[in-house]
Amino acid sequence: MSTRTVLQQADISRALTRIAHEILESNRGADGLVLLGIPTRGVALAQRLAAVIESIAQQPVPTGALDVTLFRDDLAKHPTRSPRPTQIPPGGIEGKTVVLVDDVLFSGRSIRAALDAIQSIGRPAIVRLAILVDRGHRELPIRPDFVGKNIPSARTERVNVRLSENDGVDEVTIGE
């Protein structure tokens, strides 16, 4: 089984900085912005993006976590998923620009579940999607607004995002 590293720590940092600038440009600043990370690694990425946005805009950005486990349509195939806490920042999401943050976009099913989860919490003005890695192979008509890196892959390959907050190292690998 061969595994190759496609992004290292510097690449991930550069991608997040670019995404932060794109989010600020799209939103015309940080006003009304809320970042919601999808557990597990999306939460760490959302926190990193918030820190970069805060350093650029000199304004704090509310950040939270949105667990999508109970909204997934594939629980029968993966029954061992355990829900993580959803943490909505003070001030909520009502009327805000919510940016969903996740590590890898593949089929689009996690994002579909996230959209359902958001509807159960409130009604944002707009929902955007920031992804570190877009690997293609969508099963649903979902497209990210902000992408760190497009990594074409075969369906049989696995893209692994490892972040220092969870795994002790920052890297993205692809393998069989």
How far does Cα 99 stand from its chain's mean position?
Answer: 8
pLDDT at 72: 75
How far does Cα 45 stand from its chain's mean position?
Answer: 7
Per-residue pLDDT tens digits for 6-30: 999 999 999 999 999 999 999 999 9
Classify 3-74+83-175 by CATH class. Answer: alpha beta
Per-residue pLDDT tens digits for 149-166: 999 889 899 999 999 999
Mean pLDDT for the chain? 93
Contact 37, 47 (CB under 8 A): yes
pLDDT at 24: 98
pTM score of the predicted model:
0.93
Q: 107: which 2 tokens?
A: 């089929």
Task: Tell me how far apart the alpha carbons of residues 46 and 66 are, in angstroms, rounded to a whole number.
Answer: 11
| Residue recorded with tokens 């809320």 | 34
Per-residue pLDDT tens digits for 120-137: 999 999 999 999 999 988
